[in-house]
Chains A and B, each alone.
Chain A
């Protein structure tokens, strides 16, 4: 191992000496030199991690930043003409993410200023913070301070300037904040399952982020989901019976939304991220959300237990799930944008992301936006022109049906009336799928007679 570099001085060449050099390496570590650059003092984090005390701070940092940058460039997540919105919760992952995106932007600015023709513009960065106090009344007292902290954090970053958008979660229901808050509370109260509540809130949060991104001209939403987070997601999705849609959620790019979502920290584990946060002295804000007692919490503690037992477990879990076939929307939609650098285009070819065209789905669950399996959506067609509430039930995935929709079918209509307009409009779209009406809708402007019978 140690003999890969040409500068190996132990003089070993061949297998016979391999053991000898390994012994030497152990001694080297004891003498406290970074195993990579072999000149600086390694960092000791004291968090019990397996590779603690192996790298110096610079090598450690460049390793993680490298993973971030590789993800960004190889999937064309951020290109010069883009305007990206960073979803910022104040936690470790999103704090590190914001820092990395900032560094990338600073570098782009430097290159721009240095280049003669200034052909490649610098991408724009905005920051979005979702105010969840309407869903967690206990948070309202802390929220003011948290928002002030977020504002000062974003303001204190060096130029280029970043816009901060604080989004109240109830904004998905409309602009009247009192009425929207009321509707949110009613909606959450009508979900009986604890896990269902948590998940519904997550879906609403994503909707709020999408809304603010598309309304303000952003074309990418950057989120800080790390490997550990995704590992938990893989298991929760499995446990909730969402095996079909799982592969859509854990890719680098998720373009099923109006504004494509990108996950540049997908390949970094939680431990690395917290270490880096300590190293850089980045501050975070932890909002004490309601104590979770559902499936999500149980799975998280299970994954933590597994991770303790084997430090690469989280990576293995995500790698397994990554072997599942992704969806056609798990890549940045192709554009003829000349601003995508040639290098990136070549990389995309190299990674050769293949998508099975035959395995595409057209319908999505209106609540969680998960792609629907044929077996899930088969009962869609059987329900034809009946009650809107039944259509909502039929349009949802089995997991949302169970944990979010009310058990009692008679209260479905009321529940549907509480959902954000965006979700309901998707149900209506569902009803039209495969039907004559849908086709008619498309050619309406060219039809001379309004009545279908007389055609």
Chain B
């Protein structure tokens, strides 16, 4: 690392971008610490994503693809880059924006305004689904009832299903989300810390749910969060950068900070964690839960009722603790993993971003 720093210093002295050798460098690329100019940054940033898409055969020509759009930096950049690449490399995709309105006053209503502007800016049709319509509850209502503890469990479970329902509504073939390399590295670590071998084995795959109705993929799997911010900043993209009011900053914990520390020490550590996650020797015979459908709503579920229905039932019956952590008495009995509760305190995925 020292050597590469020395190298970049050298190029800094000559005052030329170390990729094109023509323009003045204006930024130090977070992934490689190369000092490069804006134009070269755009090019490598977009080209890397293009390569990921091509190498992993993420899309087929003629497919309808929904972009999970929260109005945050990741999904805004994703929408922008994807529509750009679709045009430039003729992917032949029909792109849509899909937003979920959780009903959080002072947060989601503002961010949805951003998405609505993006709809016009990028010319992508937008579909908004609200928790209120789907479940009859807004997050504001839920928080009023259960308080600020465990509310993210509801939000996460509901969003996952809402996205699938929205995708079905749009009749899309795929759903792309803006999860970046930092998110995935963090998930790998969290799964190690909580001992979840099943999730550890699948959290690094770029496409998930291929056996389900709508596969999801993550074109930003190898893209650093910092570079996404940088891209949005230099391109002056219109995005919403407030954190969810129900998942305050204190909630973001150890793992995220640890990854940031690692990145400072060795930028490539994030990619190395993902590589480790891909290379782990996990026996394919490890028992995976059987996939079935929910008896109540027909959504995929490994239990009698899907998680959303269990939570919803609890809310409607005035027993909001049902289905959370080790609480007993749910329809599916005491099936929820206690490890989930343990991991709560170190979980840092903020509520505004989309669930895996």
Residues of A within 8 A of B (CB): 192-193, 195, 234-235, 237-244, 246-247, 294-295, 298, 302, 305-306, 309-310, 313, 316-317, 319-321, 323-325, 356, 359, 373, 375, 398-399, 402, 407-408
Q: Are A320 and B265 in contact (CB under 8 A)?
A: no
Q: Are B345 and A241 in contact (CB under 8 A)?
A: no
10 contacts between A and B (CB under 8 A): A193-B1, A238-B192, A240-B269, A240-B272, A241-B276, A244-B279, A309-B346, A320-B196, A325-B283, A375-B279
**B60 CB-CB contact with A under 8 Å:** no
Contacts of A240 in B (CB 8 A): 269, 272, 276
Residues of B within 8 A of A (CB): 1-4, 188-189, 191-197, 200, 254, 258, 261-262, 265-266, 268-269, 271-273, 275-283, 286, 342, 345-346
Instruction: Give the 9 A-B residue pairs with the shortest CB-CB distance, closest first.
Output: A243-B276, A241-B272, A244-B279, A243-B279, A325-B281, A241-B275, A238-B276, A320-B195, A323-B197
Q: Are B195 and A235 in contact (CB under 8 A)?
A: no
A298-B265, A306-B254, A324-B281 known; A239 and B273 CB under 8 Å? yes
Contacts of A235 in B (CB 8 A): 189, 192
Nearest-neighbour CB distance to chain B for A267, whole angstroms, equals 16
**Cα(A120)–Cα(B301), bound, Å:** 58
**Cα(A235)–Cα(B255), bound, Å:** 12
**Cα(A237)–Cα(B3), bound, Å:** 22
Contacts of A407 in B (CB 8 A): 3-4
Nearest-neighbour CB distance to chain B for A166, whole angstroms, equals 34
Contacts of A239 in B (CB 8 A): 262, 269, 272-273, 276
Extra contacts besides A243-B279, A295-B269, A298-B258 (11): CB < 8 Å: A235-B192, A237-B276, A238-B192, A238-B273, A243-B280, A247-B281, A309-B346, A316-B194, A321-B192, A323-B195, A324-B281
Nearest-neighbour CB distance to chain A for B198, whole angstroms, equals 10
Residue of A nearest to B280 (CB): A243
Contacts of B196 in A (CB 8 A): 320
Nearest-neighbour CB distance to chain A for B282, whole angstroms, equals 6
Q: Are B2 and A193 in contact (CB under 8 A)?
A: yes
Contacts of A298 in B (CB 8 A): 258, 261-262, 265
A192-B3, A239-B273 known; A402 and B268 CB under 8 Å? yes
Residue of B nearest to A245 (CB): B279
**Cα(A361)–Cα(B196), bound, Å:** 26
Q: Are A319 and B192 in contact (CB under 8 A)?
A: no
Contacts of B1 in A (CB 8 A): 192-193
Contacts of A305 in B (CB 8 A): 254
Contacts of B265 in A (CB 8 A): 294-295, 298
A239-B272, A325-B281 known; A295 and B266 CB under 8 Å? yes
Nearest-neighbour CB distance to chain A for B270, whole angstroms, equals 9
Nearest-neighbour CB distance to chain B for A9, whole angstroms, equals 30
**Cα(A234)–Cα(B281), bound, Å:** 13
Contacts of A302 in B (CB 8 A): 254, 258, 261
Which listed residue, B193, B261, B281, touches A317 by the CB 8 Å rule?
Answer: B193
Nearest-neighbour CB distance to chain A for B213, whole angstroms, equals 30
Residue of A nearest to B204 (CB): A243
Contacts of B271 in A (CB 8 A): 241
Contacts of A321 in B (CB 8 A): 192
**Cα(A240)–Cα(B188), bound, Å:** 13
Residue of B nearest to A356 (CB): B283
Q: Are B262 and A373 in contact (CB under 8 A)?
A: no
Nearest-neighbour CB distance to chain B for A129, whole angstroms, equals 32
**Cα(A333)–Cα(B347), bound, Å:** 42
**Cα(A241)–Cα(B282), bound, Å:** 16
Contacts of B342 in A (CB 8 A): 310
Residue of B nearest to A398 (CB): B275
Nearest-neighbour CB distance to chain B for A402, whole angstroms, equals 7
Q: Are B345 and A238 in contact (CB under 8 A)?
A: no
Q: Are A323 and B188 in contact (CB under 8 A)?
A: no
Contacts of B193 in A (CB 8 A): 306, 313, 316-317, 320
Contacts of B191 in A (CB 8 A): 320
Contacts of B272 in A (CB 8 A): 238-241, 399
Q: Are A246 and B268 in contact (CB under 8 A)?
A: no
Residue of B nearest to A376 (CB): B279
Contacts of A313 in B (CB 8 A): 193
Residue of A nearest to B257 (CB): A302
Contacts of B345 in A (CB 8 A): 309
**Cα(A235)–Cα(B258), bound, Å:** 11
Contacts of B269 in A (CB 8 A): 239-240, 295
Q: Are A323 and B189 in contact (CB under 8 A)?
A: no
A294-B265, A306-B254 known; A243 and B346 CB under 8 Å? no
Residue of A nearest to B198 (CB): A323
Contacts of B4 in A (CB 8 A): 407
Contacts of A324 in B (CB 8 A): 197, 280-282
Residue of A nearest to B282 (CB): A324
Contacts of B278 in A (CB 8 A): 243
Contacts of B282 in A (CB 8 A): 323-325
Contacts of B346 in A (CB 8 A): 306, 309
Most chain B Cβ neighbours within 10 Å, of A192, A238, A302, A321: A238
Contacts of B279 in A (CB 8 A): 241, 243-244, 373, 375
**Cα(A373)–Cα(B280), bound, Å:** 10
Q: Are B280 and A244 in contact (CB under 8 A)?
A: yes
**Cα(A373)–Cα(B272), bound, Å:** 14
Nearest-neighbour CB distance to chain A for B188, whole angstroms, equals 7
Residue of B nearest to A193 (CB): B1
**Cα(A298)–Cα(B266), bound, Å:** 11
Q: Are B195 and A242 in contact (CB under 8 A)?
A: no
